[in-house]
Amino acid sequence: MAELSKEEVLKIAKLANLELSEGDVEKFQEQLSKILNFVEKNSKVDVQEVRPLFNVTARENIFREDEVKPSLSQKEALANASASYNGYFKVKAVFED
Amino acid sequence: MKLNELTLTEVIAGLKEKKFSRVELVSAVLARINAVDQKLHAYLTLNENVLQEAKLADESGQEVLGIPVAVKDVLATQGLRTTASSKLLEKYVPVYDATVVGRLRKAGALIVGKTNCDAFAFGASTENSGYGPVRNPWALEKTPGGSSGGSAAAVAADECIFALGTDTGGSIRQPASFTNTTGLKPTYGACSRYGLLAMASSFDCPGPMAKTVEDCQIIFDLIKGKDPFDATSSDVVKPVLPQEKVTIGLPKEYFAEGIAREIREQVLEAAKFLEEIGYNVQEISLPNTGYAISIYYVLVPSEISSNMARYDGIRFGRERSSLEEEVKRRIMVGTYTLSAGYFDHYYLQASKVRTLIQQDFEMAFKEVDLLLGPVYPVLPFKLGEKTADPVAMYLADILTVSANLAGIPGLALPCGFTADGLPVGLQLLGPHFSEKLLFKVGKDYQALTDWHKRKPVV
């Protein structure tokens, strides 16, 4: 039975932008491995000639006219922000000086 | 009978005939919530203005509904806190309504409050709620099912006249079957997903949960239809209408070992009853059923991992670490299955097998008009009984997920009780946009049985 390594779990957490405690890492190692082993049976199905199903009701190319329609006001858009300034969302600095 | 105990159909008639006012109706619902919700925990947030809104509706003299609806907390309600039952959104107040909510409001419905569910709808018992689980009105130590457990409990306990839920892998149908209520998972796209806090975008379906099939039909007709804000939504295209003699198929894979004896018995009784009242019933096969769970738990966590990326604590909500454990688990699985080098092996492969599941239904519907089967393999279980093993919980979704994989509609309705007095439900599954047919069969059944009229003593 294949087991995810600690490093793999930490890498997944980084990709998913999730902070995990030490205990979490071990617990997820076990649980994720179990889930991934369970779904391994999917690869046994012969689907060589089968197209993937992404779109269950087969609707295609739903377009609209390129017209500006009413949207949220700036005030509404900021209403639930954890931090804002002068009509902007405040975020953690991305660049260092 | 108290006003809150009426069905939607009865309330509409009663209001029209001026037998009671909306204020009286809403007051009865609020009184009931006051009396039992401490025990049930079906509601997370109540609309403080609902009585005032009822008064205005009465005074307006318009033919508006004015009927109290409970809304699952993954559907955005403008100005009314929406948490998705997660601590991350504890203070989130949407600035817009979900389309399905807006359409109900336009028809005059009054939102009583937001119901408890598994966090972000990930679960089948409401035990994954960030605010504590809901209790089954039929047995308080047991779960009402999930993820729409709060909506189901509220309908069952007459804490509302009807409710909205969502079904991504069974989350309307299973709690309906656990609480002796009726619920519809519409055809994918029949009801707009705009304003539904997204879980898995090719699976999610908002839908009605109510006391009768007839009620569900009324609600569905109000909320269905194409929405310019949801490109995957559509009008009910080429509706499959009932023919002369309707044939019902019983998928043999849905009655296999592993289904609790009492559930199998009650559901087969119901099938026999339908045969007696004029339906053809025959056995059918859905051969790829064995892969339904294993592909579901690749596809859905994958889509979840993408949809959950928006919760970065910047535009709304708290920091990401406040997400509940089941939420983190599914995000992690989905991140892995979509990551570079693994996408083909997991997501692409599962998507191809998904075609086979859809084809199973297409083949079946060449022979029969609709399918009938149980909803869940086990009876309502005790809170805490299944929380230790997430994979075991996933496996029990076997009877519901195929409908979501194929995008077909499913109607769950009561069909009996166990010796211990626990409700058992059945589900009807039909081709895309065959809701009318499902409603017809369901109404025929409910016209001649009265399981759905029984109420729990809370």
Instruction: For B20-55, write each residue's pLDDT tens digit.
Output: 999 999 999 999 999 999 999 999 999 999 999 999
Angle at B367 (CA atoms; ends B356, B246), nearest 5 degrees: 130
Neighbours of A60 (CB within 10 A): 5
Interface contact A56-B92, CB threshold 8 A:
no
Give the residue from chain A lying closest to B288, CA to CA: A45
pLDDT at res. B61: 66
Neighbours of B31 (CB within 10 A): 13
pLDDT at res. A61: 87
**Would you give the end-to-end CA distance of chain A in angstroms?**
48
Interface contact A41-B291, CB threshold 8 A:
yes
**B299 with B351: CB under 8 angstroms?**
yes
- Select the residue of A19, A36, A62 nearest B321 (Cβ to Cβ): A19
Give the residue from chain A lying closest to B319, CA to CA: A82
Q: Give backbone dihedrals phi and psi of B54, rounded to 5 degrees, phi first.
A: -65, -40
Angle (deg, nearest 10), helices B213-223 and B99-106: 100
Using CA atoms, how far residue A48 sits from A42, B131, B245, B349, in Å, is 13, 46, 39, 10
Q: Give residue-wise pLDDT tens across range B317-354.
A: 999 999 999 999 999 999 999 999 999 999 999 999 99
pLDDT at res. B87: 98
Mean pLDDT of B375-404: 95
pLDDT at res. B237: 73
> Amino acid letter at A73?
S
Interface contact A45-B188, CB threshold 8 A:
no
Mean pLDDT of B7-31: 94
Q: Which of B336, B339, B343 to mutate to test the interface with A (most CBs of A within 10 A)?
A: B336
Q: Which helix (H) or strand (E) covers residue B416, if one does?
A: strand B410-417
Interface contact A18-B320, CB threshold 8 A:
yes
What distance in Å separates the CA atoms of residue B438 and residue B285, rounded to the nearest whole number? 20
Q: Please give the torsion angle defined by the CA atoms of residues B46, B51, B53 and B56, in that order, rounded to the nearest 10 degrees.
A: 180
Mean pLDDT of A51-69: 90
Q: Give residue-wise pLDDT tens across range B258-283.
A: 999 999 999 999 999 999 999 999 99
Interface contact A18-B332, CB threshold 8 A:
yes
pLDDT at res. B62: 60
Q: Could you tell me where the DSSP H helices lie in B277-387?
A: 292-307, 325-338, 349-367
What are the tokens at B294?
């294993």
Q: What is the mean pLDDT of chain A?
A: 92
Give the residue from chain B lying closest to A39, CA to CA: B294
**B114 with B148: CB under 8 angstroms?**
no
**B176 with B412: CB under 8 angstroms?**
yes
ipTM of this complex prediction, to 2 decimal places: 0.95
What distance in Å separates the CA atoms of residue B409 and residue B434, rounded to the nearest whole number? 7
Interface contact A56-B93, CB threshold 8 A:
no
Angle at B154 (CA atoms; ends B148, B158), nearest 5 degrees: 150
pLDDT at res. B352: 98
Q: Please give the torsion angle defined by the CA atoms of residues B182, B186, B190 and B193, in that order, rounded to the nearest 10 degrees.
A: 90
Which positions 172-231 of B are in contact with A (Cβ < 8 Å)?
187-189, 202, 228, 231
pLDDT at res. B233: 96
Q: Please give the torsion angle defined by the CA atoms of residues B348, B352, B357 and B361, in that order, rounded to the nearest 10 degrees.
A: 130
What distance in Å separates the CA atoms of residue A32 and residue B212, rounded to the nearest whole number? 40
Residues from A contacting B (CB-CB < 8 Å) are 8-9, 12-13, 15-20, 24, 28, 31-32, 34-36, 38-39, 41-43, 45, 47, 50-57, 59, 62, 64, 72, 76-77, 79-82, 89, 91
> Amino acid letter at B135?
R
> Amino acid letter at B48?
E
The catalytic residues of B are 72, 147, 171
Mean pLDDT of B300-311: 98
- Select the residue of A18, A38, A57 nearest B328 (Cβ to Cβ): A18
Q: CB distance from B51 to chain A under 8 Å?
A: no
A58 band by pLDDT with thresholds 50, 70 and 90: confident
SS (H, E, C) B359-410: HHHHHHHHHCCEEEEECCCCCCCECCCCCCCHHHHHHHHHHCHHHHHHCCCE
Q: What is the mean pLDDT of chain B?
A: 96
Distance from CA of A6 to the nearest CA of B (A): 13
Q: Give residue-wise pLDDT tens across range B101-147.
A: 999 999 989 999 999 999 999 999 999 999 999 999 999 999 999 99
CA dihedral for A28, B135, B70, B440, sign (positive or negative): positive
**B409 with B435: CB under 8 angstroms?**
yes
Has residue B397 got a pLDDT over 90?
yes
What are the tokens at B207?
């839908």
Has residue B191 got a pLDDT over 60?
yes
SS3 of residue A89 by DSSP: strand
Q: Give residue-wise pLDDT tens across range B62-102.
A: 655 789 999 999 999 999 999 999 999 999 999 999 999 99
Q: Give residue-wise pLDDT tens across range B417-454.
A: 999 999 999 999 999 999 999 999 999 999 999 999 99
Neighbours of B457 (CB within 10 A): 7
Has residue A1 got a pLDDT over 90?
no
What distance in Å separates the CA atoms of residue B154 and residue B408, rounded to the nearest whole number? 26
> Amino acid letter at B49?
N
Give B250's strand partners: B283
What are the tokens at B397?
């979704």
Distance from CA of A71 to the nearest CA of B (A): 10
CB pairs under 8 A between A and B: 142
Q: Which helix (H) or strand (E) covers residue B208, if one does?
A: strand B206-210
> Amino acid letter at B234?
S
Interface contact B349-A47, CB threshold 8 A:
yes
Interface contact A17-B320, CB threshold 8 A:
yes
Q: CB distance from B449 to chain A under 8 Å?
A: no
